Chain A
Amino acid sequence: MPDLLAARSQMAMSLGFHIIFAMVGIAMPVLMVVAERRWQRTGDRIYLDLAHRWAKGTAILFAVGAVSGTVLSFELGLLWPTFMEHAGPVIGMPFSLEGFAFFTEAVFLGVYLYGWDRISRRAHLAAGWAVAVSGMLSGVFVVIASAWMNAPTGIRWVDGRAADIDPIAAMLNPAALPQVLHMTLAAYASTGLVVAGIHAWPLLRHPRNAFHRRALSVALLIGAPAALLQPLSGDLSAKFVAHWQPVKLAAMEGHFKTERGAPLRIGGWPDETAGETRYAIEIPYALSVLAFADPRAEVKGLEAFPREHWPPVAIVHVAFQVMVGLGSYLALVGAAALWLMWRRHDLSRHRWLLRALVLAAPMGFICTEAGWTVTEVGRQPWIIHGLMRTADAVTPMPGLVVPFLVFTALYCALGVAVAWLLYQQVLRSPQAAEEDPA
């Protein structure tokens, strides 16, 4: 395995692993806190039990997220020292801010998890909110840094070196807002819906189980609105890409020829050598409308760019289709659930909705992985869009396949362990009181 490929694989694997735990770390505290708040308001002990159990799961996932995040902060240098040498002073700011947000998160998670009997109820709930807010901010700051790689503002590139750097302008890069919105919503949608799916499963057999009914309602309260809003933020992201990274848009859409009134391609397989995307369903004018809000707008095709600036087209296109397809399903399920909740229906009587939620459970995470594939693979061959090539940023250390395999094995083992622990936790659900039919 060539060193560059090994380094990219290790980075992709580490990010792909960490992102799951990071998302859960952002959204799970909100679920926990909502459950605890309901217990404090209603005195219903089942909500307290729920908060306890969710807190346990969060503790495990947060710890794995924290240590895998540490690995990433080192890997920035272990794998891409040349990138960090030039980019560090420009995008270090959001990482420093993230450091403090993460500090706050870790402090108050400790208070929350171990402080049930040590502090007042009010202080305990406040600690939970502190975890939720600082967790969200951690994610925001890291995504800002990542967005800068797509839209490197606040830097001038002179003779292969950074000059006139402006860290504030770098933080305010045009990719920051769309990426931050899209990722933050993804965290709430994916986590909310995976929890909803996990609790919908036992409800199929025991529709009156009070524990799972309450869990489902809290999880949907967070997950469903986020899933419904996600297509809007996705549109914002797509418009950013159309303007700033037209070659990435062309790859996402499998769009080879520059044309006015470009069609939107659904599915299909892009053939780089033939320069066309086969077997796709084409919706006339739709791409021009979505990208530039004008059916006659010209959309640049891949052919408008030098071949060496193309990202791997098939990977980017397929990942994009997966994200949009599954994301649309999640938005629909979220909309249906919200409608029924609005009309005060008993969700557990709608078996089709429970089934749809069980099916949706893993989809948020798959969407997120696919979305990051679009963002990161779609940026290739650049590590800093238009300024530095990934190949020029990699460490001179040889034999990178070894750390790649070692960390892959480590994370596989860790993933299995976490899945097993959580499975046991969920499987042995409480035989909570059956509720009387409302």
Chain B
Amino acid sequence: MTGIGPAELVAGIALVALTAYVLLGGADFGGGVWDLLASGPRKREQRALIAEAIGPIWEANHVWLILVIVVLFTCFPVAFARLTIGLHIPLSLMLIGIVLRGSAFTFRSHYGHGGEHGDSSMSAHWGRIFAIASVGTPVTLGLCVSALAAGTLGPPGRAGFHASYVAPWLTPFGVGVGLLTLALFAFLAAVYLTVEAREPALREDFRRRALGAAAAVFVAAFGTLGLALLGAPLMGRGLTGAPWAPALHLATGAAAVAAIWALWSRRFRLARLAAAAQVSLILWGWALAQYPYLIPPDLAIRAAAAPRITLVLSLWVLGLGALVLFPSLIYLFRVFKPR
């Protein structure tokens, strides 16, 4: 269990891809949340800004999730099998959310906005589906993560439908993680939108929303930590007892304070950086707390890993793929996100 081998390396890359999904794809879901909560005199403008921000990039952002899944089933097939068996129900719910969010958003953007053939009632109808799915999907993602974190996905073969397929994820801790995920995604989206808004009044709308979301993140994070100590002792111990824990919490806290301060003093680009750092640190805190286990309490990264040849080839593919991917992504973001 010592040292870093190809298995740990691949797992690290999967974590990086998951971080990218949360920072980019997560914010797209967060955009849907603010679409649902659009209010005030600039309701229309808020929704238009969200659609404009998500439109060109959401499909690329979504592929990070597919990359995580592919790495998981190629390099950690035992873990993939256990996850997809134990989390069949929340994963299916998440997929329904993903399908509805993506399709409804596209239907609305290409036939909505009262344009040439726009039918505004149909458009509003798709917008509503898009927004509701954007709220539900992060919660189901959080429920899945909670089962991993809590170590409730033991080896299969226990008796009873409820014990095997419901109990691992439907817990108070699970609901806490689900709401925390939702709050984090909404927070990211609001902070990003403060940078992307061109009108000052619209920017203020999202600044207020970002500050509100920051408060929601604060409540959800501490609530979840409390629930972890009560109901997910493994994660609770990892997050509080490990030698690196104080440094990590300090860094996360510093990023959170920096994000709020930057929002308060209207340094929006700094706020974007700090918010991304804060969310990444929360994700990595979870990963560190359960290291070296992929599925606590018993399935370690190395034990779940595929044969060495697969891991080495995968590292090559990931490396070469990155050579194509990163220039393409940089181009995409330079074209559509110049700020």
Contact = CB atoms under 8 A, between A and B. Distances in A.
B81 A85 contact: yes
Contacts of A99: 63, 66-67, 70, 321
Interface residues on A, range: 35 or more
A233 B59 CA distance: 33
Contact of A84 (B80, B165, B321): B80
Given A89-B310, A165-B307, A114 B55 contact: yes
Interface residues of B, number: 62
A85 B307 CA distance: 12
B63 A74 contact: no
A107 B110 CA distance: 18
A115 B56 contact: yes
A70 B81 contact: no
Contact of A81 (B63, B80, B101): B80
Contacts of A431: none
A77 B57 contact: no
B280 interface: no
A37 B176 CA distance: 53
A225 interface: no
A104 B325 contact: yes
Given A88-B77, A89-B306, A95-B70, A67 B85 contact: no
A67 B336 CA distance: 23
A290 interface: no
Given A103-B60, A103-B63, A403 B92 contact: yes
A226 to B, nearest CB: 26
A356 interface: no
Nearest to A112: B56
A102 B67 CA distance: 10
Interface in B92-116: 92, 95-96, 98-103, 105-107, 109-111
Contacts of B57: 110
A98 B73 CA distance: 14
Contacts of A340: none
B103 A111 contact: no
Interface stretch (B246-254, B257-265, B270-278, B312-320): B312-320
A100 B321 contact: yes
A424 B84 contact: no
A113 interface: yes
B69 A73 contact: yes
Interface stretch (B37-45, B232-240, B327-335): B327-335
Given A78-B88, A111-B56, A396-B156, A167 B99 contact: no
Given A107-B332, A395-B85, A92 B110 contact: no
A67 B13 CA distance: 23
B3 to A, nearest CB: 22
Given A93-B317, A96-B321, A165-B310, A111 B335 contact: yes
Interface stretch (A54-62, A194-202, A347-355): A54-62
Given A92-B306, A96-B318, A114-B336, A102 B80 contact: no
Contacts of A106: 59-60, 62-63
A118 B335 CA distance: 7
B73 A78 contact: no
A229 interface: no
Contacts of B325: 100, 103-104
Contacts of A417: 103, 107
Given A77-B80, A102-B63, A59 B106 contact: yes
5 contacts: A64-B103, A81-B81, A103-B324, A107-B60, A107-B329
Given A81-B84, A88-B80, 14 more contacts: A56-B110, A60-B107, A77-B80, A84-B84, A85-B81, A92-B74, A92-B306, A92-B314, A98-B70, A99-B67, A107-B331, A110-B332, A113-B55, A425-B117
Interface of B: 55-57, 59-60, 62-63, 65-67, 69-71, 73-75, 77-78, 80-85, 88, 91-92, 95-96, 98-103, 105-107, 109-111, 117, 156, 161, 165, 306-307, 309-310, 313-314, 317-318, 321, 324-325, 328-329, 331-332, 335-336
